[in-house]
Structure 1
Amino acid sequence: MHCGLLEEPDMDSTESWIERCLNESENKRYSSHTSLGNVSNDENEEKENNRASKPHSTPATLQWLEENYEIAEGVCIPRSALYMHYLDFCEKNDTQPVNAASFGKIIRQQFPQLTTRRLGTRGQSKYHYYGIAVKESSQYYDVMYSKKGAAWVSETGKKEVSKQTVAYSPRSKLGTLLPEFPNVKDLNLPASLPEEKVSTFIMMYRTHCQRILDTVIRANFDEVQSFLLHFWQGMPPHMLPVLGSSTVVNIVGVCDSILYKAISGVLMPTVLQALPDSLTQVIRKFAKQLDEWLKVALHDLPENLRNIKFELSRRFSQILRRQTSLNHLCQASRTVIHSADITFQMLEDWRNVDLNSITKQTLYTMEDSRDEHRKLIIQLYQEFDHLLEDQSPIESYIEWLDTMVDRCVVKVAAKRQGSLKKVAQQFLLMWSCFGTRVIRDMTLHSAPSFGSFHLIHLMFDDYVLYLLESLHCQERANELMRAMKGEGSTAEVREEIVLTEATPPTPSPVPSFSPAKSATSVEVPPPSSPVSHPSPEYTGLSTTGAMQSYTWSLTYTVTTAAGSPAENSQQLPCMRSTHVPPSSVTHRIPVYPHREEHGGRPPSSSFPRR
């Protein structure tokens, strides 16, 4: 969109022109030599002029800055974090926010002595405001961005800029594209299922899912309801018969798994990253409403399609709720863990617990306890002791939990196909019992750091549950992938949904399992048989001793043995008829009465434009 040139621009109109150009794109910079063109759409120009002329309430912003921030030598706050606080303030006060550049000028009006520094490791550096801190009375208070945090750093010298908590906004992920969806050429379709219709459906469904992802990134969660309704109730009549096919249902399940993983990664890339309260509230509301929206959108559609949509959406909603609660606990735990006095007292109380008695009680509750279990408990006790003794940051505790789940669940379950649930239940029983007995022992002995241990215990429990839930979702996605491929045996053709590796070693919402540097692998034997035979599904499973981190992206890897094509794999029998029962078509009431007038083609509103 070009900006119109006024013959005699005054100061106000010039500022309005600058505002329009800055808001037009976050990725473009305009110099003073930018050529101007005529506006082709008067209506759009009028809309932009109205937006630019809307008052930004600069006095209110200055007052807000004075109430929430203060000058503090040695404290730096990421520019993006402060701007997210500002967006949260504007949303709560129903005012139009200015862009980041204009907001920087407003900050310098309030704090003229403020400077800007680019901090961080090479390739990951970010701009920070240096010399400003969040007041303790502010709702945005974070010890790492406060005077207390600066004082603690000056005494211990252990703070690293790269490990600061940055307030996050999904808007920073604008333009994110979904990973590739399944290709119809790789599927083993029944003879009664036309390949052309399946290919068309996958293309339509990918467009629909991308629309939902874009809407979530913009935090317009209410629009998701209309997108769901428009797509499913606006489905063209000639596409309805294929929706009951088990192959198409499995395709929907795989695609939904990809979409939900993408949304989860966009909303909360890591549980350690601070989120504005307003974003946390809308995420919880979205998780609560999604199931109701799907019930309306999927009305009168095949039952097997409805079942898979409901199953995956409820798992996704549960993970979102777990992430938001865990994020809150992590921010509270960070303050405790970063206090040298508190961790010293915790270490003293930790070493006073009766480890021998607690271990015996824990093993007594297990169905098939062995000496390996006792050694594992003692090892985990010692590893946690080292973390407290070294006054490690919260990132080290998260990495330790990742490692623990990898050793005790992932590697053990990899030896026997389909044993993940059993192994996870056994480990969770041991973990919960041990933690409960430790808290009980500290309560009986009135440990001074009982409150801190209780908080850390809650955070650890939630994070372990979050990792196990993520593992179950991953396993379910892999099952759907194999069913979609029609695989009768994993010995010839193996396809897995794997997580794409990323270089930054920061914890992510997807569990990054890795053995700890100072820990040896101690496995929890499966509950059934002492001798377990590795399944072909897990043949070639690789684990490394280096810390790895993963993004939300889901990719597909097809491996064929001896060059045999995927088409030769065993065909999956349909769970339902390939055609929708006549009653479901006859009594279907379309949302769009004019759909039949266009020869059965879906209306343009079925796929809203961006």
Structure 2
Amino acid sequence: ALGGGLGVGCQSYSHTTRASPATVQWLVDNYETAEGVSLPRSTLYCHYLLHCQEQKLEPVNAASFGKLIRSVFMGLRTRRLGTRGNSKYHYYGLRIKASSPLLRLMEDQQHLAMRQQPFSQKQRLKPVQKVEGMTNGMALGNQQQQSSGLSDISAQVQQYQQFLDASRALPEFTDIDLQGKALPDGIALDHIKAFQVLYREHCEAILDVMINLQFTLVETLWKTFWRFNDSQTNDTSTLHDESEKRLPKACLVVLCKYDPVLRWTKECDNMLYQGLVEILIPDVLRPIPSALTQAIRNFAKSLESWLTNAMMNIPEEMVRVKVKHLACAFAQTLRRYTSLNHLAQAARAVLQNTAQINQMLSDLNRVDFANVQEQASWVCRCEDGVVQRLEQDFKLTLQQQNSLEQWAAWLDGVVSQVLKPYQGSPALPKAAKLFLLKWSFYSSMVIRDLTLRSAASFGSFHLIRLLYDEYMYYLVEHRVAQAKGETPIAVMGEVSGAILGQQDCLEVQIWGRLQKHFCCFEGPNEHSGLHHP
């Protein structure tokens, strides 16, 4: 034995499971068995991924790593600890050594994070305790990750975690509903159960690395779950031996074509991605550091290609669900929300400038609203009374020099007022989309008038219009999701996959163009002087 509860020598373990001796030694140097303590399984695995990254080793998947842990530290038990909806699997009887740099770094980060975060965000960042063990903060901070040019801000996680909602946990997943369908040939109920357990562990690991801003590790997690192998052979026994025992890849491939599994995976991804969006951007209007915004946007640009590559040998049915619908919607949502956040901060400066507000009021009073309303009524049947109230409210709110948050409340009230007749009706989603089209058209008519008059405040109005259109999209997106009983990610996934029910072709084209318009804001605007990070 190599010591400290270690039951198998480094040489014999390497022979049986092809583990790197450096990895076994790393485990022995940093962890030890002890009574009455526990360590989250996902935390230990993320530490291991960072170790592999630092040592330039090929990591094994979570299941194979679990086998390694149990072989190195004999007699470990697994327990599910935590409150309902926030529980995790732990290795009971294992802790980080007092001499380990992992522990010292974690204690420093937890102390600073606890001081900086609001009370509601402290749930995940607990001090090291006897039973709970280590928390999920794995930002070790010394690695410079260069994969795909993605900037690594994990070294400064304590600076940025206060802007996240780290208290959110992954919701419980339901069991796969077979709906009476016959199992595919060669598939048993045990295979279905194994897929459920493995996928839950996989999603928990993704949640943990995202909370700690280790974005590049998501690609590694995807590759290990889907048994990615970049060699010319199909031999996956070296890296995925434990997963093969729990769920052979041949069975995994078959399940990826099985409709109940496809539907269940889609539901799980909807919950996972929606949770990740709400963790990374809990408030779209609250200022976010540019480095964090840029890291999120870079991740959004990379994630679809990462997942597509990781699923290279997976059936097209599963790839279509995971990449073309859900991952695409997830990436678009992150890009839109970070753009919205950037617009909000630029607009905040305008709304706080008295001279600019007075100039906007002066220019707005010269707009020929009668002509605007006449065209808007003919094109999209905007009701005169509603439009006049909106015009008066807008001018009054501008005159009062309200804050950005007060403007947001006004916009939310507009959406509530317009959609009130449709509450509880299946017609609400279509009415909400139609309102978004009308709002966009009407605001473009006002901007046109200001442009033709060479209004001095055109740049300010253009910026405000971009913000309000984007925020209206955000509000409508959430109202439609609420009406359908789905997550916003699920709603956007339908748009990304062009699954819009029985709507006609013209509406599909218009909605797609609107989405493209709202997602295209990437660079500087010559009128507003706005530069996107």
Give the aligned partner of residue 147 of structure 2: none
How far is 1:264 from its partner? 0.6
Separation of aligned partners in 2, 1:248 and 1:173? 30
How far is 1:451 from its partner? 2.2
How far is 1:190 from its partner? 2.2
Give the aligned partner of residue 181 of structure 1: 173
Give the aligned partner of residue 320 of structure 2: 307
Change (3 A) 1:280 1:295: same
Structure 2 residue 497 is the aligned partner of structure 1 residue 443: no
Which blocks of at least 5 consecutive residues in structure 2 are unaligned? 1-38, 40-93, 109-114, 119-138, 145-150, 228-239, 492-502, 505-533
How far is 1:302 from its partner? 2.6
Change (3 A) 1:208 1:323: same
Identity, % of aligned positions: 33
Structure 2 residue 362 is the aligned partner of structure 1 residue 343: no
Give the aligned partner of residue 378 of structure 1: 388
Separation of aligned partners in 1, 2:442 and 2:95? 69
Structure 2 residue 273 is the aligned partner of structure 1 residue 260: yes
Structure 2 residue 384 is the aligned partner of structure 1 residue 392: no
Q: Counterpart of 2:408 in 1: which secondary structure?
A: helix
Structure 1 residues 111-190: aligned runs within 5 Å: 169=161, 173-174=165-166, 176-184=168-176, 188-190=179-181
Change (3 A) 1:441 1:175: closer
Q: 1:292 aligns with which of 295, 305, 329?
A: 305
Separation of aligned partners in 1, 2:262 and 2:373? 47
Structure 1 residues 2-13: aligned runs within 5 Å: none
Change (3 A) 1:79 1:244: closer
Change (3 A) 1:474 1:390: same
Q: Counterpart of 1:459 in 2: which secondary structure?
A: helix
Deviations 1:229-271 (A, max 9, x none): 1112256224443221111111111111111111111111111
Which blocks of at least 5 consecutive residues in structure 1 are unaligned? 1-23, 25-38, 55-77, 82-86, 101-166, 479-495, 500-509, 511-526, 529-610
How far is 1:226 from its partner? 0.6
Structure 2 residue 460 is the aligned partner of structure 1 residue 452: yes
How far is 1:345 from its partner? 3.1
Separation of aligned partners in 2, 1:440 and 1:462? 18
Separation of aligned partners in 1, 2:388 and 2:258? 52
Q: 1:281 aligns with which of 287, 290, 294?
A: 294
Q: 2:372 aligns with which of 354, 358, 374?
A: 358
- What is the RMSD computed on CA atoms of the aligned residues? 4.1
Separation of aligned partners in 1, 2:269 and 2:95? 40
Separation of aligned partners in 2, 1:96 and 1:313? 23
Separation of aligned partners in 2, 1:292 and 1:301? 14
Structure 2 residue 242 is the aligned partner of structure 1 residue 250: no
Separation of aligned partners in 2, 1:461 and 1:40? 51
Contact 1:474 1:497 in 2 (8 A): yes
Separation of aligned partners in 2, 1:280 and 1:218? 15
Structure 1 residues 175-574: aligned runs within 5 Å: 176-184=168-176, 188-192=179-183, 195-233=189-227, 236-237=247-248, 238-310=251-323, 311-366=325-380, 369=381, 373-408=383-418, 412=422, 414-416=424-426, 420=429, 422-470=430-478, 496-497=485-486
Q: Counterpart of 1:408 in 2: which secondary structure?
A: helix
TM-score scaled by structure 1?
Answer: 0.49
Select the structure of larger CA radius of gyration.
1
Separation of aligned partners in 2, 1:386 and 1:458? 20
How far is 1:409 from its partner? 5.0
Separation of aligned partners in 2, 1:220 and 1:97? 9
Structure 2 residue 39 is the aligned partner of structure 1 residue 47: no
Separation of aligned partners in 2, 1:427 and 1:324? 24
Q: Counterpart of 1:45 in 2: which secondary structure?
A: coil
Q: Which amino acid aligns with 2:448?
A: R
Contact 1:170 1:217 in 2 (8 A): no
Q: Which amino acid aligns with 2:412?
A: D
How far is 1:227 from its partner? 0.3
Give the aligned partner of residue 148 of structure 1: none
Separation of aligned partners in 2, 1:402 and 1:433? 19
TM-score scaled by structure 2?
Answer: 0.56
Change (3 A) 1:98 1:225: closer
